[in-house]
Structure 1
Amino acid sequence: MKKTWWKESVIYQIYPRSFRDSNGDGIGDLNGITEKLPYLRELGIDVIWVSPVFKSPNDDNGYDISDYRDIMDDFGTMNDFDRMLEEAHQHGIKIMMDLVVNHSSDEHPWFQESRKSKDNPYRDYYIWKEPVNGEPPTNWGAAFGGSVWEFDEQTGEYYLHLFSKKQPDLNWENPKLRKEVYEMMRFWLDKGIDGFRMDVINFISKDTRYPQGDVVEGLKYGKGSKYFRNGPRIHEFLKEMNKEALSNYDTITVGEMPGVSVEQGKLYTGESRRELNMVFHFEHVGLGDGKFGKWDPKAWKLTELKEIFTKWQKGLETEGWNSLYWSNHDQPRAISRWGNDSEEFREISGKMLATCLHMLQGSPYIYQGEEIGMTNVKFNSISDYRDIETLNAYHDLTDGSLSNEEIFKGIHERSRDNARTPVQWDGSPNAGFTIGTPWISVNPNYEKINAKAVLNDQNSIFHYYKKLIQLRKDNEIIVYGSYDLLMENDEEIYAFTRTLENEKLLVICNFSQETPEFTLPETIQFSEKELLISNYDVNAQQSIQNLALKPYEARVYRLK
């Protein structure tokens, strides 16, 4: 396997609006990121993925871009960005920008021109279709509710938007549009950024026949995803992007790819194919989805999670590369989703989850606040929520599909705003995030859960993450070792090995608050063992043939 810096990196995602406000307007900003770079250096991360900071009317929290070469006023200026980039590099931290090119804002000059007339030079920068019998061209439903088609009276045609109607999809069939995108990417790379996280990048190639979507009983709109996910020209477009915009720079690239399979993942990330370094798949975060997706969540099984992770671990073991994550700006808090956010088990389960993820093969992602043990928030009023997806789901699903109690259960468990409450820096008002009024309320538990508290406690989750990151830097086996699952059918214990030449790691994680027993398989032979890390104080000399595990216990041994 080829060794590269990005395979060996730990990436930290910053959602700027909620990270740190430097000027008291209640909105996190670039100078707030710069201020906290020493904190991130102490944690030990290698790369920051910065969610969009481009000019935007903010319909979808910056994922609707009106100028790809300028900074949103809320976040500061281009000078602020340049200073952040320079200081990050001085701290030995690389910067990965968010590339949002499946769609733009409807306030982007390209779209403003495109909608003026059918013969406008920018018309084909977007996807326009005539009505069919006075109706939208297809029955596809949009990700944020409603139809994917919006009628524009000025020209009497519909434009496509897979997300909000203020996020019209760009037409990647148009070579002029693609050239503009590549020029924009080179603009940022020439500034010195180190790569891109690419938003829903496997949506950019559509089936240009635009067939009708599958009809699902009880749903108003059809499912059109098979006609825009991993479309017919996607590999052609990504190879062209790599050649035109990436190949002359030493970059890290990750594609966000809902609906991607392992076999497709190999095609996207295989080193010889010259497309991307790694992909975000969504298989595990869909566990427990009900009839209405994440809004009526059901119980999930550990065996299901292990099956998904193992499939990707083995599938990309020799070709391609995994990106590893529990949470991000679109997912609920890791501890609340996968662990136990009760006062008794919050920190210990958080350490267990970190152990499991960071010991897998791939590049681990830490979402801001994960390293201090932040949890989901339970706002009682819909007026406290800001996320367009959450607000639209509340509006759509309380219309007879789910009761108010049911929809709030789903919101409390899965809303994207769970990840977007401000980072809890200390126990002062508004958690030290701002001296103003925060754009979204702070989680009330900030007085107990905050960065200042964990920095002062050597046994805290922060220092545990710091140790995990250092272990990765010191042990090639954690990066490059092969993976094998143990105890496949166990519903409480996730155990696996990592193997590199004559060295083996044994990873044992208890995903329950019970006390199951781990039994070492007879196939694992060793003459020496070393306890590398554990989330409880344990006797390092204890036999590992049979271990009665404590609730949410995690241990990692080096075997020789």
Structure 2
Amino acid sequence: MRRNARADATTEAQDAWWRDAVFYQVYVRSFADANGDGVGDLDGVRSRLGYLELLGVDALWLTPFFRSPMADHGYDVADPRDVDPLFGDLAAFDRLIEEAHKHSIKVTVDLVPNHTSDQHAWFQAALAAGPGSAERGRYHFRDGRGDAPPNNWTSVFGGPAWTRVPDGQWYLHLFAPQQPDLNWDASDVRVDLVETLRFWLDRGVDGFRIDVAHGMAKPAGLPDMDPEAVAVMAGAQNPEVLDPRFDDDAVHDVHRLIRKVLNEYPGTMAVGEIWVDSDDRFARYVRPDELHLGFNFKLAQADFDADAVRTAIERSLAATGDAPPTWTLSNHDVVRHVTRYGGGDTGLRRARAMALVELALPGVAYLYNGEELGLPNVELPDWARQDPMYHRSGGAEKGRDGCRVPMPWEGETTPFGFTTGESTWLPVPQEWGPLTAEAQLEDPGSMLSLYRQALEIRGGHASFSGTEVEWYGAPPGCFAFRRKGGGLICALNTSAASVPLPPGEILLSSAPLDGELLPPDAAVWLV
């Protein structure tokens, strides 16, 4: 049932729980496997709620667990209002929601409104109905230019963004051919989204992560793209190149529709996956009648360099207006930051430092499962790769499987307690033995212990209040900022030499301090 609206100040503060929350992204198929088939599932997530509570996170983001042929590991949704048997059933979802709430952990789920699976009942009906039908009007079916596609758009996963059907028409898919794009000019599409939102809200979810939130709307006439445009999802778009595939102005109508439904359920929220380089364009997604939060990936894209990180922070703060900024270092689409920062001991030291930087900033932090264990990317053999990006590019792009390897929980041999079965959907490296949660739990110097300490301090220390930061003067290769209103100081040293600490009482450091000096590849919190 829908929640009753309450107006007192305490309740309003509770309803805005997301403004400074720490979310934990659960890549469901790689988190924990309860039934022994080698693939993570909802009961597996439920079995690890005690760990998540001990870690100190406020909320979960569950990647898609809906009915799907799994052409893109669940982001090709055949039924958005049911659970795929691979992950359990609706009863398993209900159990997870109930128990998570008992652990004081909110639950948010992925929403995939840009496209469906080609096995969705709508798309199958569109194929059967033929050109000009209302069924085809729910998607982007077009006649070609002779034997050529309707325009020159390319897929984010490589190759053309159009596939031809037997009657000669073409359909649009900005991702894999098994993921046809929906036409948001069709009223059916909007009505169905509202039904999906209410279905999960009525089951108790606390919010949604909107996949490809800068997608959905397409410009009239579907004009050709600039050949210089690249895959926006890769985050490498040239801001001077216009890309008609994404960030069309009409997308904001979709987000206003989503927000209108969420306003009927106090205490719920939505965060959008927004690959938009322009700060001004980004800010439009988090206006008061649109998304509550927007993923800004600039921190995840920054090199381990104080100037680059500071620029990412300043731009992210400037792009959100009155909405809280969001911060993330890794997710299921990017190389894990231990590896991005150099790998090995160097990458680990730098990842520890950046964890303190991220968690010191005002706003919302998103952690990706396994980063609290210091997991690196895995260089998988080609035979093991499953990402459609790898297959669509003919192996030129290695894809995202390396950051999706299952979590190591306990024991000394692979698969380290992830499953009771003999194999896992992606192989878990034997060298991950020292990285298991069990191995790190009682080690005060471990990455897991650092995250637990940082989250405990962040959640309970008054110095973490305030929504603005002010910068100190700092040596080259370093920075220091203070939370205005709270007083927390965070200093980062990316240079090759130790530097003097700012004045203050030390709360936590990412590495042992060198007397009154902050060593290279380290960060510290002070008050």
TM-score by structure 1 length?
A: 0.84
Shift in CA distance, 477/80, structure 1 to aligned 2, threshold 3 Å: same
Distance change >3 Å, CA 489–CA 146, structure 1 → 2: farther
- How far apart are the structure 2 equivalents of 1:482 and 1:287? 21
Instruction: State the shift of 1:323 in Å.
Output: 1.2
* CA displacement at 1:50 relative to structure 2: 0.2
C-alpha distance in 2 between matches for 1:260 and 1:56 = 31
Asked if 1:175 corresponds to 2:150, the answer is: no
User: Is residue 2:352 matched to residue 1:351?
Assistant: yes
Contact 2:337-2:347 at 8 Å conserved across structures: no
Q: 2:343 — aligned with what?
A: 341
Aligned ranges 1:206-221 → 2 under 5 Å: 206-216=218-228
Question: Do 1:454 and 1:462's aligned partners in 2 also have CA atoms closer than 8 Å?
Answer: yes
Quote how far apart the aligned CAs of 1:282 are: 3.3
Match of 1:311 in 2: 315
For the structure 1 residues 218 and 78, does the alpha-carbon distance in structure 2 shift closer, same or farther, using more than 3 Å as the test?
A: closer
2:383 counterpart residue number: 383
1:504 aligns with 2:521: no
Query: For residues 494 and 306 of structure 1, do their structure 2 counterparts lie closer, same or farther at Cα, with a shift above 3 Å needed?
Result: same
Give 1:535 shift. Answer: 2.2
Q: Is the 8 A contact 2:340 2:347 kept in 1?
A: no
Does residue 533 (structure 1) correspond to residue 517 (structure 2)? The answer is: no
Specify the code of the residue in structure 1 equivalent to 2:340: R
The answer for unaligned runs of 5 or more in structure 2 is 1-11, 232-236
Partners of 2:18 and 2:269 within 8 A in 1: yes
State yes or no: 1:282 paired with 2:297.
Answer: yes
1:438 and 2:424 are equivalent in the alignment: yes
What is the SS of the residue equivalent to 2:19? Answer: coil
Residues 162-208 of structure 1: per-residue CA shift (max 9 Å, x gap)? 00000000111112210111111100000000000000011011112
Structure 1 residue 61: deviation in Å? Answer: 0.6
In the aligned structure 2, how far is the partner of 1:473 from the partner of 1:261? Answer: 32
1:323 corresponding residue in structure 2: 326
Equivalent of residue 40 in structure 1, options 38, 49, 52: 52
- Distance (whole Å) between structure 1 residues aligned to residue 329 and residue 300 of structure 2: 8
- Give how far 1:240 is off: 2.0
> Are residues 1:364 and 2:365 paired?
yes
- The SS at the match of 2:104 is coil
Structure 1 346/266 Cα, relative in aligned 2: closer, same or farther at 3 Å? Answer: closer
Report what 2:258 is aligned to.
241
Contact 2:23 2:60 in 1 (8 A): yes
Q: Are the structure 2 counterparts of residues 531 and 457 from structure 1 closer, same or farther at C-alpha, using a change threshold of 3 Å? A: same
Deviates more, 1:243-252 or 1:382-391: 243-252
Q: CA deviation at 1:260?
A: 4.7
1:551 equivalent among 503, 520, 527? 520
DSSP-derived class of the 1:432 partner: coil
SS at 1:89's partner residue? helix
Equivalent residue in structure 2 for 1:418, among 402, 421, 439: 402
Distance 1:489 1:212, change over 3 A: farther
Residue of structure 2 in register with 1:523 after alignment: none
Instruction: Please tell me whether the aligned partners of residues 332 and 376 of structure 1 are also in contact (alpha carbons under 8 angstroms).
Output: yes
- Gap change, CA 1:217 and 1:196, over 3 Å in 2: closer
Give the match for residue 226 of structure 1.
Answer: 243
> One-letter code of the match for 1:179?
V
User: Is the CA contact 2:464–2:487 (under 8 Å) kept in the aligned structure 1?
Assistant: no
Aligned residue pairs total 504
Could you tell me which amino acid in structure 1 is paired with residue 388 of structure 2? I
CA contact (8 A) 1:313 1:483 kept: no
CA distance in 1: counterparts of 2:65 and 2:242, whole angstroms: 28
Q: What amino acid is the match of 1:439?
A: W
Provide the secondary structure at the position in 2 that maps to 1:448: helix
Q: Structure 1: which amino acid aligns with 2:79? A: D
TM-score when normalising by structure 2: 0.90
Q: Provide the identity percentage.
A: 31
Aligned to 1:454: 440
- 2:9 is aligned to none
- The Cα of 1:477 is off from its aligned counterpart by 4.4
Cα pair distance change 1:304/1:551, threshold 3 Å: closer
Structure 1 unaligned residues grouped into runs of 5+: 289-299, 398-406, 521-525
1:450-492: per-residue Cα shift (whole Å, max 9, x none)?
10011121332112111211222223542533113345893x3
CA contact (8 A) 1:189 1:249 kept: no
Change (3 A) 1:515 1:112: same
Pairing 1:143–2:171 present: no
Aligned-CA RMSD value: 2.5
Q: Is the 8 A contact 1:182 1:245 kept in 2?
A: no
**What is the Cα deviation at residue 519 of structure 1?**
7.2
